[in-house]
Each structure stands twice: as C-alpha cells, then as structure tokens.
Structure 1
Amino acid sequence: MLEETQDQILRLVRHVMLKMESLRSFSLTRHHAKRNLSIIPITAVSAILKTLPMSCVCLELVLETLAICVGNGANEYNDTHLCEDIRRILPRMQHAHIEARSLCDAFLGEWDSDEKFHSISLPNLRTILIHVAARGACSDKHRHGDKLPWESIIPALQNAIERTDPAAVEATVLGMGNHTGPGQCMTSLRCHIRKGCIKTWAFPFVRILRQKERYKLVHAYIRLEHGNYVVPWAKVFTFAAERAWKTLKTGGRLPAAWTRSSDCISDAKLGIWTWEEWTKKYPNEGPMLLENEKVAGMKLIDAEERDGYEEICLVEETPPGFVREASFGRMGWLVRAQEQ
C-alpha cells in the first residue's frame, strides 16, 4: 500500500508539479475520514518539497501519519530529513503551517561545532504556525541535543523572526500540556512569539461522552480566551490556532489572509459549535467539568495567559469542603462535598 502511494505521488511530481510554474500555494493534509489513504511516505514528501516552484510562497504540511519507510527503503528513510527540506524553501514563504510526526529546530537553522545555533532569515514571512502537540523529535542522527520539539523550536523560531521585521510576523506554536494527575485538565497550548516576548495561552478541554456515540471520543468541550466551544475531538488543537488556514468550499486549503469568509466552509459544516448552540441542540449532553462546577457552585478552571512557554497543564480547582473521586465509567474525576 505504501509503495503504491509513493509511486502515485512520484508520478504526480514528475508529470504535474514540474509544469506548475505559477503555483502560489501548496497544501498537503490528511483526510481524517479516509485513514487508510492518509499514510504518506517520507521520501515522497521530500520529493514534493524539492519540486515546488519558486512561485510557491504558501506552504501547509499536515503529516501526523507520516510513514517512516517504504518496503526495503529503511536506509533511504534514515538519509531523509524533512526539516532540512523545509529549511531550504522556508525563506521565500509568506504563510506556513507545519505539522509533522517528528520535528526539530533544523528547519529553522543549523548548529555549528561551537554549539551555537545559526537561524535562517525569513524576510517574506507574515504568518507561521507550527504544531508540535504530542509529536516526537527527529532521530538522533538528525537532531541536535535531546530537547523535545516544544523546547527547541520556540527559541529557534524567535531567533529566526528577530532577523527580519518582527512586527510584521505572526509566529505561533501549538502544543499540549503534560497531563499527569487528578485535577489536571487536558490543556491545549498556543504560544505567541514576538521580539523579546513569548506568551502562551493555555486552554482547558475535556471529553463529551455521548451514549448515542457509544462513548467514543467524538467531541471535545474547550474554553478559549473569547468563549466556550464544542469541536470534533480530532480538531481540538487546530481549532485553538484561530483558523490560521481555512478550508474552501471547493475543498482546497489557503492561509486565512488569502480567503474571504463567503468562500470558506462554515463552522457548522466543520462540526464546530458555540456552547450556546450545543446546549440548545443537546440540552442534557455536556462534559463532567460543568457537572463539577454545578456541584461546587463556581467556575473551577478557565483559559489563562502565561509569560514564557512552560509546557504544563491547567489544574481544575477543588474548593474547600470538597473532594475528588475517580469516575472510571465517565473517564474523569467527580467533585463532591466532603463528608463531615
């Protein structure tokens, strides 16, 4: 299956992309509804990046199901480092969105023998969105040091944008807080990088388990800085990115700056609801968090903005006089009044 996919992509490169001399934007994303068709060989992606014409100034790569090798091509995979391919073309990009199974700071610069990082210049960049939530680092052969992507990419990206006009660049990195114990809430992180300033928004999100969906993880309730929403579970992180790239009614993808709302698929068709819309349609189907807040008589957690880029979860408050107990059937922690 992978070898067939690679052959199809390479034919596309040879017979189509080489002739697309006026291509301005390129998007390669996974189709969540077709899981068996969404695995892309790394060598094929590398071939695409090397073939993109100079006219292409917008790039979106969403490759969370990237295959590591094809057939007997393990050695070819080991020699293929997508971060280097991205680094070669990133300086001409105006808008970029990158999400891959593995990432490191090599797509933003190189380390020298004196342990100093040399950033590339990004003179044309206007927006860049990097998604590293639950992503692994590149292999030891390719990456420098032992830092995970969140820790290495954010300072590298800040160095890169400070080499250009930082006021004109919107640089954002998405991540996920480390979730380790009771009271800690799954947390989507959105880091904003500016000259001399890094701030991170932390957004709590929880499961909505619906009996009609056999308690599968289909929907998530998330609190952003400007409101509460219900979104498809698979889109919870990209939703926190404030729709930096949008899906057109034709099925294509473009950076938000290049689109008009009338040309884009509506939130309703994307499965995105405001909390008010959801409760009107499904009045008795909400997350455990709201039940806990009803019992406690107060809000227990909310979105918050932090200085820096600590990769930690938000904590759901346990008010005085209350305790938490595990609810395995509901996959969470219930708040109840402490017995006297």
Structure 2
Amino acid sequence: MNSTSFDLDPSYHILVTGGAGFIGSNLCEFLLNNGNSVTCLDNFATGKRENIAPLSSNSRFSLIEGDIRDLDTCQQACKDVDYVLHQAALGSVPRSINDPITSNDVNVSGFLNMLVAARDAKVKRFVYAASSSTYGDSKNMPKIEDIIGKPLSPYAITKYVNELYADIFNNTYGLETVGLRYFNVFGRKQDPNGAYAAVIPKFVLQLMEHTSPVINGDGSFSRDFTYIDNVIQMNIKAIVTDNKEAVNTVYNVAFGERTDLNQLVALLKEFLSEFDAKIADVNAKYGPTRQGDVPHSLASIDKAKKLLGYDPQFDIQKGLKQAVRWYWENLK
C-alpha cells in the first residue's frame, strides 16, 4: 500500500491500541513503513504476538503489554503521543451475548480510560474504531450516519456508548475525536480460528481443508465487506484532515456494495480453486440464524468521500483475491 498518497507527516508519534490485533497490526505496519514512531498497546487477549513479531526489530516501534481497563497503563501509553488510533476492543456479537459484563468492561470502561488518558496527555486527535452494529434494527438502506436504530446486542450498545462518550469529551474538554464505523472488515492477518472468528477467514480455512462452510440462515443475509486497505486509508485520512467540519463526528468505513453469504462462498471457492481445484467441489451447509445478527448491511460512504476525501480502492473481489492469496501462503 502506497503511504505517500496520504501525506502523513512521518514525524508523528502514534499510539495504536489493540496494535497486535488484525486491524491494529496492519495499522502499525503501515505507520512504520511511513516513517512514524509507533507505540502498540495490547494485552494479547485477542491480539497475536506473531502479528507484530516482524515489527519488533524496528527502532521506532515500542510495545506496551497492558490492558486498557487500567488507567495508569493508558496514561503511560499516551505519553508523548501525537495521535491515538484506538482499535482495542472485545469484538463479536455472540461473545457479547455470552459475556456482556466483560464486553462492557473492555469496550466502555476501557474506552473511557483511553479518552481520559488522551485528554490528559493533550493528544492532537483521538481516532477510534466504532461499528456498523450501531445501526441496530434500522431498516434504512444504505446506512446513513445520522439515522440509527435500537441496538440488537450488548456489543452494539458498547460501541454506541463509545460514540456518546467521544462526543462528550469533545464538547466538555475539547478533545478532537473521529469515530470510524467499520463494516465487516477482512484481509491479511485476520484470525480464522476460535469460536468468534469472522466469517471470511473461517470459510477460507474450512474450504482449504475441504470442509463445508456452515452458513447461518439461508445465505441471503448480506454485508458490506470492507478490505483492510480501505480501513487503513480512512484511519490515516482521519489523522491528516485539517477540515474542522470533518472532525468530532462519525463515518461509515466500507466500500458501499453488499454481498450475500451465498455469493461470498461462491467467490471464495472460485479464487481458492485457482490454488486447489478440489475446492470447487466443496459445498456449503446451512444452519440456524445467529441471535443478534442484522439481516442486511450496506453503507453510504458519501460523508467520508465529501469530508475526508475517502476513495476506497478495493471492492469485494479485489480484496478477496488479495486475502485468499495471503491465507494460502500463510496457512498451508
């Protein structure tokens, strides 16, 4: 990915919370390649050491192994930092349904700790991972930032509370914030294992093992799948913008197209069968619909285009081709 197109000053010191996670580690790598100094804060609850292992030899990279639920750790991490990219969270709707207390502790209390630490350290701007789950039961399509529904899971509540707290910290303390509502992000370094694995890496691994992927429902549920490089672009644009109208608000981070799960499996089979022809013969199975799942998700990205100059380069097909190649090379 070409860093020069975003005009990010390499002198900035940037904190990435959850920096060993899927999105966080990709951000760390991009920033280091751009010449920035990067502090990664992670407790490795869901982050992976192997995601940041190649970065550890870089003199501009530092790791703080700690938890955002501890305010002292957050304050240590924010010391001498210009910008915060807050990615640390406990993701997954099913996880939050199984354990709402821990999801709330990390996603709400931890988020508040980070806001306090960023305020006290006088960071220039606090850019944070919000979520498309905030749209809840809203029937509007595409999803527009200022029209949301009722949350459908504890996870969705936590991510909406993040937006409310960020707004309060701007209004009360003058901390600049930008919220990025991610829509089903996928790509390199996304973990295919575990009970709460995202659908794309999980399906890729199953197909590579000639195991039938299990689709929840009849396969008609659709998502605005968003490749990781589009997400990196939005994080960087949220840092570099000097448009006052563009900060202290939230944005959809997506491509602006939706793909249903049947189409997704068909694309994965097509791209994977280029490496292993037998994968073309593996068929999906169907299971019950998951509790808390939103049937359809499609983002309007007009606001991001207008205010931040967002220009996503990867549609589902281009992104899946890249992701599939990465999984084939790293999981075989």
Say whether the fold is shared (TM-score over 0.5): no
Pick the structure with greater CA Rg: 1
* Higher RCO, 1 vs 2 (CA within 8 Å, ≥6 residues apart): 2
Give the TM-score normalised by structure 2. Answer: 0.30
Give the TM-score normalised by structure 1. Answer: 0.29
